[in-house]
Amino acid sequence: MNYASQHPSRDRPEERSGGGCVVGEAGGVGPEAGCSRRAEAMRGGGHGASLFGRVGRAWPGPFSAWVPQPPRALLSPLPRRGLAATLPRNSYDVRRVEITPLEQRKVTFDTHALVRDLETHGFAKEQAETIVSALITLSNVSLETVYKDMVTQAQQEITLQQIMAHLDSIRKDMVILEKSEFANLRAENEKMKIELDQVKQQLMNETSKIQADSKLDINLERSRVTDMFTDQERKLMEATTEFHKKDSNTNSIISEISNKIDTEIASLKTLMESNKLDTIRYLAGSGDGFRFLKQRTSLQLLSSNHLNLLHHKTGFKNMMMWLGKV
């Protein structure tokens, strides 16, 4: 049984006097007459400082088994308010967990052995007990500070289950959101597809209408050109027929005139031959007959040339008149 279990009232941080020295809550010492050396030792000047500096994390066995630790002055300072202080920490779903109550916790070192060691080094019994009580208080405060940032395995499992449930909820929300987004995208895609089909159908209708109009215009223009070509061809045929008709009339007129001219010439030749014979018979008996016959022959030649010239002039005049009519 350790010293703390025998004297539970020693765990309360209250001032106690021992041998003319006063020990407070924080382990401080107030020097008076007859205890200056011990006060200096407790402030860190003597062997008492080595005791405070060698306080270990655990003291399960005898006095020689404690593990030395560096003095608290070498550690990083923490903000203090009395004996306990906590740093604010942001964590996920922080929960205050009930750890083992203070009165049920076990002391982590052998308090009786420490009291005996202090008595061996010149401390009175009450002073040693007060120092050990202060150490127990500091240890409990430190453990309380550590326990505030720790949880038990059961609480850790509960927190893990809560986190997993929260992750499952987030995953479900993401799945629902993804499905809703995909549904919206699918609806938008269907809407755009319908609009595209409508535009395509409208474009096809417009294209068909334009093609029909173009074909109709082309057919109308082709019919108009065909009618125009037929009309021109008909006019050409009529002009050709009229030309051939007039040509035939002209040829017949020319033939008739030529026949008349030939008939007249033949008549004139017959008449001239008759006159020639008469003249020869008349002049045969006279001396001047030969001269008269010669003149008569020259006159006959001149008359023949004159008739030929007249014949040509008449034909040319008739030709010009026909061309004027045409």
**Dihedral (Cα; 202, 204, 205, 208), 10-degree rounding:** 160
| pTM for the model | 0.29
When pLDDT is averaged across residues 55-84 and rounded to a whole number, the result is 40
Other beta carbons within 10 angstroms of residue 197's beta carbon come to 10
CB 151 within 8 A of CB 163: no
**How far is 26 from 13, CA to CA, in rounded Å?**
8
pLDDT at 197: 93
**pLDDT one-digit tens code per residue, 203-229:** 999 999 999 999 999 999 999 999 999
Q: Comparing 16 with 242, which gets the higher pLDDT?
A: 242
Q: 233 is written with which tokens?
A: 């061809």
For 288-325, b/e burial (b = at least 16 CB within 10 A) is: ebeeebeebeeeeeeeeeebeeebeeeeeeeeeeeeee
pLDDT of residue 271 exceeding 90, the answer is no
- 247 closest CA partner among 325, 311, 316: 325
What are the C-alpha distances in Å from 170 to residues 91, 161, 164, 173, 174?
19, 14, 10, 5, 6
**How far is 213 from 229, CA to CA, in rounded Å?**
24
When pLDDT is averaged across residues 89-111 and rounded to a whole number, the result is 58
**How far is 215 from 209, CA to CA, in rounded Å?**
10
